[in-house]
Amino acid sequence: MSLSPEALATLSGVSTATITTVLLKKGLRNIWMRGTKPLRPGQPRLVGPAFTLRFVPAREDLATPESWSSPISTRTAIEAMPKGCIAVVDAMGVTDAGIFGDILCARMVKRGVAALITDGVVRDVEGVLGTNLPVWCDGFAAPPSVAGLTFVGWGEPIGCGGVAVFPNDIVVADQDGAVLIPQALLDHVLAEGSEQERMEAWIVNEVNNGAALPGLYPMNAETKARYAATKK
């Protein structure tokens, strides 16, 4: 799926923290992908549909340098990535084998991929940073992926950081990490996310003006009425 420019603009103004709150109210507690930290501090918030990739534990007959030339390889998967997608990679939380390095990330940039998100790590970190591909991961390591993982496919449901990710689910990533918006709840987040941001900004302003928290956060009836009056 592709996101409309309006949806992209709206979600670009909604933090991952806010999204977790909005979806918590719908009963979703497990949407934040553990281990997804920005590789470069200050990376801007990014939004896009998930393009999923999956690794399994290394098996010596499959996890070899020769496998990089296989039709089922990360190289082939990258050529299938559509412009604007966010590559979400299930690396099983393995942190001693880098799933992607500078060459693969450079190709992703050329293909217009928006970002790479994984619960694993990258390698060739200086080169990866040099590509300017935004990356959220759990660090970096020198060994290649085949030292600890076997790549098995793309375009299927995966688990990343303990979160179930389906192809084309919406991913939002910022300084707090990466969160997932199920396709079926996208319209709800679009409708509620901006209002949640506006309300919390109003609350922060009240706190800065000396207001006490009881009755303000969460709002009691009187506070809700005062806040409602600011929207008229």
Q: Tokens representing 132?
A: 């300017």
pLDDT, position 115 = 98
pLDDT digit string, tens, across residues 130-188:
999 999 999 999 999 999 999 999 999 999 999 999 999 999 999 999 999 999 999 99
138 annotated to bind ligand: no
Check the annotation: does 45 bind a ligand: no
The answer to the question of whether 169 is labelled as a binding residue is no
pLDDT value at 2 more than 80: no
Residue 1 has pLDDT above 70, yes or no: no
Q: Share the mean pLDDT of the chain.
A: 95
CA distances from residue 20 to 36, 44, 64, 73 in whole angstroms, order as listed: 15, 18, 39, 33
Q: Can you name the residues that pair with 52 across neighbouring β-strands?
A: 88
Whether the Cβ atoms of residue 181 and residue 19 lie closer than 8 Å to each other? yes
Q: Does 88 score more than 70 pLDDT?
A: yes
H helices within 53-164, ranges in order?
74-79, 102-110, 125-131
Over residues 52-60, the mean pLDDT reads: 94
pTM of the model: 0.92
102 belongs to an annotated ligand binding site: yes
Rounded to an integer, what distance in angstroms lies between the CA atom of residue 45 and that of residue 202? 22
Choose the weakest-confidence range: 31-45, 65-79, 124-138, 163-177: 65-79
Residue 61 has pLDDT above 90, yes or no: no
**Residue 19 known to bind ligand:** no
- Spans of all domains in the chain: 5-184, 188-230
- Confirm whether residue 170 is marked as ligand binding: no
Q: Which residue has the higher pLDDT, 216 or 63?
A: 216
Tell which CATH architecture fits domain 5-184. Answer: 3-Layer(bba) Sandwich (3.50)
Q: What percent of the chain has pLDDT over 90?
A: 92
Q: How many CB atoms lie within 10 A of CB 224?
A: 13
Of 96, 108, 2, 109, whose CA–CA distance to 48 is shortest?
Answer: 2
Strands 46-57 and 170-174: antiparallel
